[in-house]
Structure 1
Amino acid sequence: MINKDKQISSIAIKQVFLLAIILILAGLICFNLALFIPSVLGAITIYVVCRKYNFYLQEEKKWKPWLSSLLLMLASLIILILPIYFIGDLLIEKLGNAQAYMTKFNVFLEKIHSYIYSKTSFDILSKENMAKLKDSVGKFSTTALSSTFNTLTVVMSMYFILYFMLEKPRLFERILTSSAPLKRANVSLIGEKMRKLIMANAIGIPVVAIGQGIVALIGYFIFGAPSPVLLFALTAAASMIPVVGAAIVYIPVCIFMIAEGNTGSGIGLGIYCIVVVGLTDNLLRFTLLKKLEDIHPLNTVFGIIMGMNLFGFMGLIFGPILISLTLLLIQVYGNEFSDDDTPDLQLPGSNDEPEQKIDLIV
């Protein structure tokens, strides 16, 4: 006789079947519209940044929705997109000729290696290791730059999507909220965490990067570093990488200048970068980024690696967001299906305060 308690209920079977269909359809959509994933991520990022101002203009100042949307799109283009696009375009312009770039890079490496070996007799870069390094740098730069050539298409489609988000923001958030099969508190948690993550990545990281790049650029001009504008773009991009940061650019440059015979300038640039650029990095990170959201360095490292492979230069911002969102969803999953009805995580509105209206993004 079959034990009915051990039978799978028809409701559970229907749920699994429906979930499988949803996952298959979502996979097909993502696979065929993969080109527009960066556009969607970018539109959501800018929407979160502009959300407060959009509600202010539409609901308090009574602006026409299309007018406030266009104004905020223009402002985001000037303040957020153009500085990042400028750095990416500069790198493409300077490094677009892969053969000429690799020739200069090989000379640069050989000069540094010869100088270190002559002074220390330490073969820090053997021929085998140098060949691997050159090959890795060549592949990475080619992939990153080729992925960035579609930036114009991504930006155009991103603003097309963003317009409809900004024009009817309440409708957009209501659709997302009603579509999420989660507890209300978890929807609020995701909204609040996403707001902090996006603000930290979309505003904090680029501000730190450009700030370090500008401070380093001043030093490059003062001490006569080669190609200071190119070094500015490389320093700004490298500063987004935790732990090593901008040092991965300015230390080899200092050694190269010393190897070229510019000992005083090389040492002076090294001291300037360690003290001034390092101080700028610490100041911005421990004030701006800590205030926005304390993101673990490993999230940023793996996020940048994944983001650059998926989205090119724009992955510097989107990659860490995706890693952090994945970890957040794992936390929400544990909270959603735990036996305890009380959330383990500190959620907005989870105190004994009177229940308030909760938006998707607080």
Structure 2
Amino acid sequence: MPSFNDRLKQLLLIGIIGALVIMLFISMKAFIPGILGAITLYILSREKYFQLTFYRKWRKGWTAGLFILFYLVILGVPVYLIILLLSPRIDAYLSAPDKYIDLVRKILTNIQSETGIDILSTAHINTFFDKISAFLPGLVNSTTNLLFNLALVLFLLYYLLINGKSIEQYLNSITPLKEKNLHTLVYETKKNIKANALGIPMISIIQGFIATIGYYIFHVPEFLIWGVLTGLFAFFPIVGTMIIWVPIDIYLYATGNNWQATGLLLYSLLVTGNADTLARMTLLKKIGNVHPVITIIGVISGLSLFGFIGLIFGPLLVSYIGVLFSIYLNEYITDETMVNTDKH
């Protein structure tokens, strides 16, 4: 049995390791999204990569390089197009914000004259646009950080793929869980990451595409930009797309485009809105179903913790609460119950 000094040395060593890990985490906080992104892509790629290298005997380095090239196209091209599409509009707003403030005031005045409802005062409008003006420069500056994290994702993914088998064996050896519970943890991790990294982006792309068609049909100005923003906000289940199309619909009504506004309202409710429900009932159930409540809570918490990659890892963290609680019951409570039963 270990002595008190041995226990003390053990706790001291664990404390030093913990302190170093915390220091490393704090110093690399800006790069956490890149690290988590690499882990995500590794989990999505490992099965196919192992199949090619272990069974078909492809060379590890060349195969990993092909995966890197594939993800460079899949991730890099959309990011580049979104930056290319949104940057000129952000610059236009920052160069002349008063033009947009006057437009919003005019729309609100029209609404007030038609309905008699005073939605926002001048002070509230100014405060709202001041916050946007303070937020947008940071968003533009974060483009460099986004590109660096993307490069970090691909760099780390290469080495994770090449050394993945040995890393997994080491993690299995140091994980203090029963084999059954370890398999449960691995299964839930794979399921949630696949559901969030594949299913939710696919649903967002579908909703963004469908919304773009509606914006084009009903002559919404800058319909392509609004379609992209609708797809991005579709990461938030149920209410996400409404953040975009409801203000657009109000704008159309306020500017006298009543038939376009009515058409877009019906289209958004019946087509764009139901696309989310239909996709979750079909697509997500095949990939790995995640409850919308878990997704909403996870996305909100994940964005504040990890940035954009929190859209994937936020719901995973929320799911882990239930999974780890079940594992705790299986590891300890069940065993203690069995022991007490045997005593009686």
Same structural fold, with TM-score higher than 0.5 when normalized by the shorter chain = yes
Match of 1:28 in 2: 23
Larger helix proportion, structure 1 or 2?
A: 2
Contact preservation (8 Å) 1:304, 1:320: yes
Shift of 1:175: 2.2
- Equivalence map 1:36-55=2 (5 Å): 36-55=31-50
Partners of 2:296 and 2:290 lie apart in 1 by 11
Pick closer, same or farther for the CA change 1:20–1:96 going to 2, 3 Å.
farther
> Is the 1:303–1:323 contact (alpha carbons within 8 Å) kept by the matching residues of 2?
yes
Equivalence for 2:259: 264
Give the alignment's Cα RMSD to 1 decimal. Answer: 2.9
Aligned mate of 1:19, from 6, 14, 18: 14
Pair 201,330 (structure 1): closer, same or farther in 2 beyond 3 Å:
same
Partners of 1:182 and 1:336 within 8 A in 2 = no
* TM-score under structure 2 length normalisation: 0.85
- Following the alignment from structure 2 to structure 1, what is the Cα–Cα distance between the partners of residues 123 and 324? 42
Contact 2:237 / 2:292 at 8 angstroms: preserved in 1? yes
Q: Which segment is superposed worse, 46-55 or 332-341?
A: 332-341
Q: Report the alpha carbon displacement of residue 130 of structure 1 after superposing the two structures with TM.
A: 3.2
Judging changes above 3 Å, is the alpha-carbon distance between structure 1 residues 109 and 41 closer, same or farther for their aligned structure 2 residues? Answer: same
Fraction of identical pairs, as percent: 35
Give the total of aligned pairs.
335
Structure-1 residue corresponding to 2:243: 248
Tell me the equivalent position of 1:212.
207
Is 2:119 the counterpart of 1:149? no
- Residue pairs, 1:211-360, within 5 angstroms: 211-325=206-320, 327=321, 330-331=324-325, 334-335=328-329, 338-341=332-335
2:159 equivalent among 154, 160, 164: 164
Q: State the one-letter code of the partner of 1:250.
A: W
Q: Is the 8 A contact 2:112 2:118 kept in 1?
A: yes
- Shifted more, 173-182 versus 290-299: the winner is 290-299
Residue 242 of structure 1 aligns with an amino acid whose one-letter code is P
Change (3 A) 1:190 1:112: farther
CA–CA distance in structure 1, aligned partners of residues 225 and 159 of structure 2: 37
**Matches of 1:220 and 1:264 in 2, distance apart?**
13
CA contact (8 A) 2:72 2:154 kept: no
* C-alpha distance in 1 between matches for 2:128 and 2:324: 36
Who is 1:70 aligned against? Answer: 65
Q: 1:211 to 1:17 in 2, by over 3 A?
A: same
Using the TM superposition, give the Cα deviation of residue 248 of structure 1 relative to its aligned residue in structure 2, in angstroms: 1.1
The correspondence for 2:169, drawn from 158, 174, 180, is 174
Distance 1:334 1:74, change over 3 A: same
Contact conserved, 1:38 with 1:311, CA < 8 A, in 2?
yes
| TM-fit CA distance, 1:137 | 4.1
User: CA 1:202–1:85 in structure 2 vs 1: closer, same or farther (change >3 Å)?
Assistant: farther
Distance 1:317 1:116, change over 3 A: farther
Structure 2 distance, partners of 1:328, 1:85, is: 38
Worse-superposed segment, 195-204 or 281-290: 281-290
Give the TM-score, by structure 1 length.
0.81
Aligned to 1:351: none
CA contact (8 A) 2:211 2:268 kept: yes
Residue by residue, what CA displacement relative to the aligned partner does 1:17-37 show, whole Å, maximum 9, x if unpaired?
343222211101111222321
> Within 2, Cα distance between the matches of 1:97 and 1:324?
41
Shift of 1:155: 1.1
The amino acid of 1:60's aligned partner reads: Y
Greater relative contact order (CA < 8 Å, ≥ 6 in sequence) = 1
**Shift of the alpha carbon at 1:318?**
3.9
